[in-house]
């Protein structure tokens, strides 16, 4: 028998692995690492002053874009075809592959840009609730429109220069593809496997469990809750979930859309107030596949949104996914429970 008594496990002090059921993968949690001094890269402060209207900004109402088209003088949301799309609807087929190690196949689709608001100096948390509802309604409309043809419609927003967004005007992108991309394909497989084994949608059961435990809930309402996932990789990552079984954003009721607008504003305000900065992030919606999948059974799916902010210690220090995380396993420092308990409750 060892003379040294084994320490009692404390998740805030001892490294451990956590399972991500949406990706069938693990994340290393090493909370004790936050005690180490920081001498790494510090980002430049974000530009504080953004003009409400910039005659040189291609996203502003009435301005000319790179392709020569002139934006209308819009006063709400505005959607247009991306001037530099990653996917086009008429790309040629590469043909059959000659070797199993060198495979390619056709990639077709459309890419759209959606402006949230005519003003450049507002973000979603600063918009009125009814304006955010219009954003949600347009998202739903685009999923229905593009999803009638394409298997996957990805809504995503990159906010802030730290996330590679070069234009401060509030906007997102919507890409529709003739294939199921890697992340939703993996999520589809994992949710299906859980449903087949347990007879309940994975994320519906997860939302119920988190609502009961309250350990990681950031904001909640009658129809929605946002949590720092048990398996979160990014420090301030959150997962936004409906309380009832919903396959796609286009399936939300009027009341659920209004409640979603409210909880999005609350969540994003908390983000902004955390470090007193317009919080950068990448976010996106995942729902049941569309196109040919509309006729199939998608009961295993549950609509949800991912928020992935890069910040770690302050508004100027971000987390890097490098080294061990690129080559071996994703790792985080603070536990999700510690993140949730940070003093942001007065910022809703």
Average pLDDT over residues 67-76: 97
Residue 191, marked binder: no
> Would you state the pLDDT for residue 316?
86
| pLDDT value, residue 47 | 62
| 78 contacts 114 by C-beta, under 8 angstroms | yes
Is residue 310 included in any domain, yes or no?
Answer: yes
Mean pLDDT on 264-282: 96
Q: Is residue 302 part of a domain?
A: yes
Flag whether pLDDT at 139 surpasses 80: yes
Indicate whether 145 belongs to any domain. Answer: no
pLDDT: is 315 or 106 the higher one? 106
Specify the number of domains making up the chain: 1
Which range is least confidently modeled, 40-54, 64-78, 141-155, 306-320? 40-54
Instruction: Give the per-residue pLDDT at 335.
Output: 93
Check residue 50 and give its pLDDT: 92
- Of 37-41, 78-82, 179-183, 196-200, the one with minimum mean pLDDT is 37-41
How do residues 84-104 score in pLDDT, each as one tens digit? 999 999 999 999 999 999 999
Q: Please write the tens of the pLDDT for every residue from 98-130.
A: 999 999 999 999 999 999 999 999 999 999 999
Q: Is 171 annotated as catalytic?
A: yes
Give the number of other CB atoms < 10 A from CB of residue 240. 21
Quick one: pLDDT at residue 11?
82
The 10s digit of each residue's pLDDT in 2-32 is 445 577 988 888 899 999 999 999 999 998 7
Strands of the sheet with 16-20, listed across from one edge: 16-20, 25-29, 330-332
pLDDT tier for residue 325 given thresholds of 50, 70 and 90: very high
**Sign of the dihedral through C-alpha 116, 122, 127, 131:** negative
Q: Is 165 annotated as a binding residue?
A: yes
Average pLDDT over residues 61-83: 97
* pLDDT tens digit sequence for 180-193: 999 999 999 999 99
Torsions phi, psi for 143 (to 5 deg):
-65, -40
Q: Could you tell me how far CA 177 lies from the centroid of its own chain? A: 18
The answer to whether residue 256 scores a pLDDT higher than 70 is: yes
Q: What is the pLDDT of residue 37?
A: 53
Q: Is 60 annotated as a binding residue?
A: no
325 annotated as ligand-binding: yes
Q: What pLDDT shows up at residue 313?
A: 79
* Vertex 24: Cα angle to 23 and 29 (nearest 5): 85
* 337 falls within a domain: yes
Instruction: Tally Cβ neighbours within 10 Å of residue 29.
Output: 25
Range of the domain at 275: 181-347
pLDDT in tens, 213-230: 999 999 999 999 999 999
* Mean pLDDT for the stretch of residues 46-58: 88
38 assigned to some structural domain: no
Residue 313 among known ligand-binding residues: no
- How far apart, in whole angstroms, are the C-alpha atoms of residue 215 and residue 305? 19
**Active-site annotation holder among 171, 286, 300, 306:** 171
CATH at 187: 3.30.428.10
pLDDT of residue 80: 98
Mean pLDDT over each residue of the chain, to the nearest integer: 93
Could you tell me which residue, 255 or 34, shows the higher pLDDT? 255
**What is the reported pLDDT for 40?**
54
The tens digit of pLDDT for each residue in 285-304 reads 999 999 999 999 999 999 99
- The reported pLDDT for the residue numbered 64 is 97
280 belongs to a structural domain: yes
| Residue of 88, 106, 89 whose CA lies nearest to 97 | 106
Residue 32 placed within a domain: no
The percent of residues above 70 in pLDDT, for the chain, comes to: 92
Please give the model's pTM, rounded to 2 decimal places.
Answer: 0.93
């Amino acid at each position: 028998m060892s003379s040294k008594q084994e320490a009692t496990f404390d998740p805030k002090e001892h490294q451990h692995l956590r399972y991500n059921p949406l990706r069938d993968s693990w994340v290393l949690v090493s909370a004790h690492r936050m005690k180490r001094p920081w001498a790494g890269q510090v980002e430049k402060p974000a530009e504080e002053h953004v003009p409400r209207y910039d005659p040189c900004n291609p996203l502003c109402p009435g301005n000319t874009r790179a392709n020569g088209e002139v934006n209308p003088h819009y006063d709400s949301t505005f959607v247009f075809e991306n001037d530099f799309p990653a996917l086009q609807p008429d790309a040629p087929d590469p043909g059959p592959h000659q070797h199993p190690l060198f495979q390619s196949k056709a990639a077709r689709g459309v890419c759209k840009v959606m402006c949230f608001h005519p003003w450049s100096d507002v973000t979603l948390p600063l918009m009125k609730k009814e304006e955010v509802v219009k954003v949600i309604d347009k998202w739903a409309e685009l999923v229905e429109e593009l999803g009638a043809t394409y298997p996957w419609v990805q809504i995503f927003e990159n906010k802030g220069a730290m996330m590679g967004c070069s234009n401060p005007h509030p906007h997102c992108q919507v890409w529709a593809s003739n294939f199921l991309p890697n992340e939703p394909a993996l999520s589809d497989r994992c949710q299906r496997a859980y449903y087949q084994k347990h007879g309940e949608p994975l994320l519906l059961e997860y939302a119920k469990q988190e609502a009961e435990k309250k350990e990681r809930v950031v904001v909640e309402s009658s129809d929605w809750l946002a949590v720092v996932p048990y398996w979160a990789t990014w420090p301030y990552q959150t997962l936004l979930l409906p309380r009832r079984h919903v396959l796609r954003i286009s399936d939300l009721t009027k009341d659920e859309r209004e409640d979603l607008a409210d909880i999005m504003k609350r969540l994003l305000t908390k983000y902004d107030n955390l470090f007193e900065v317009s919080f950068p992030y990448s976010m996106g919606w995942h729902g049941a596949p569309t196109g040919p999948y509309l006729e199939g059974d998608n009961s295993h799916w549950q609509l949800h949104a991912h928020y992935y902010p890069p910040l770690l210690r302050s508004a100027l220090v971000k987390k890097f996914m490098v080294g061990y995380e690129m080559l071996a396993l994703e790792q985080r420092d603070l536990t999700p429970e510690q993140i949730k308990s940070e003093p942001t409750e007065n910022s809703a």
